[in-house]
Amino acid sequence: MKLLTHASLFTGLGAFDLAAEWLGWPTIFQVEQNPFCLSVLARHFPYAHRHPDIRTFDATPYAGTVDVLTGGFPCQSFSLAGKGAMDLTLWRQMLRCVVECRPAWVVAENVRGLLARSHGLVLEEICADLEAAGYSVFPPLLLPAAAADADHRRERLWLVAHARGQRQPQQHATPVPEEPDPGSVLLHSLVPAQPQLRPRYASLREVLREADGLPEGLDPTTRNAALHALGNSIHPIVAFNLLRCIAYV
């Protein structure tokens, strides 16, 4: 398995960064504006460069240093629970950073609602943007947290793109085992189908049935910020499986 370098946009609590750390990949930089999330990132990823605003962030100095760039660009305009107003502004900022630092791989995450926006034309536009920037985009994956054996759905749409002509020579990589990692098989097949879900666990609310309260150790001064950040986060094990299969390509 190749050891790669990682960087993240719209980092949040750092779920992608945690997954990269499990693989032994250093995170070069993080871009996040939420003060609570920044305090968490500073504690757990002290070595990473942090930038508070993607609109003013210049990724050009990092060109050639990042193998995998990840980002869950904000999804309010695509969420089925939101107002549904169309806004690709922050996706354009992510795309700009991709062009500036030229990672070998791009992994983007968003909500399931992106599939349905304008009958799929918004997703097509995002994929076309990456293609125009010189990337080959794999068919989108719809993977829920339940795919990592979580007891709730938390469905997310994942986009994986590879820079054309920038693949590292195979002789420099550790050979793929005789029985390939399941994540590697998934990335290569990329069948846009939903994994088998536990039928009783359609949502977190149905799992919990009733609130059990909050941990006593949760700081009341940051409780709302923490819950908001957790609600926006992804399941790090799902991200880990996607990043792990990239390491075998």
Average pLDDT (12-29) is 95
The pLDDT of residue 45:
96
Angstrom CA distances, 201 to 56, 70, 117, 152, stand at 41, 28, 26, 5
> Crossing angle, helix 35-44 and helix 15-22, to 10 degrees?
10
Mean pLDDT, residues 45-61: 96
DSSP string, 80-141: TTS------HHHHHHHHHHHHH--SEEEEEEEGGGGTGGGGHHHHHHHHHHHHTTEEEPPPE
- Of residues 37, 75, 97, 127, which has the active-site annotation? 75
Confidence check: pLDDT of 3 > 80: yes
Top-confidence residue, 14 or 167: 14
pLDDT at position 198? 38
Distance CA 13, CA 234 (A): 9
Q: CA–CA separation, 244 vs 2, rounded Å?
A: 9
pLDDT in tens, 223-234: 778 777 777 778
Active site residue 75: yes
- At residue 235 the predicted structure's pLDDT band, cuts being 50, 70 and 90, is confident
Model pLDDT, residue 216: 62
pLDDT the model gives residue 86? 56
For 189-227, write each residue's pLDDT tens digit.
433 333 333 343 344 445 445 555 556 666 666 777 877
pTM, to two decimals: 0.76
* pLDDT given for residue 223 in this prediction: 75
pLDDT band at 63 (very low <50, low <70, confident <90, very high): very high
User: What pLDDT, on the 0 to 100 scale, is given for residue 1?
Assistant: 73
pLDDT at 83: 52
Helix (H) or strand (E) holding 243: helix 236-247
d(CA 211, CA 204): 11
pLDDT in tens, 130-181: 999 999 999 988 877 766 666 666 788 899 999 986 443 333 333 333 333 4
Each residue's pLDDT tens digit, 83-127: 555 568 899 999 999 999 999 999 999 888 888 766 678 889 999
Classify the phi-psi angles of 165: left when phi > 0, otherwise alpha if psi is within -120 to 50, otherwise beta.
Answer: left
Token reading at 57: 């962030």
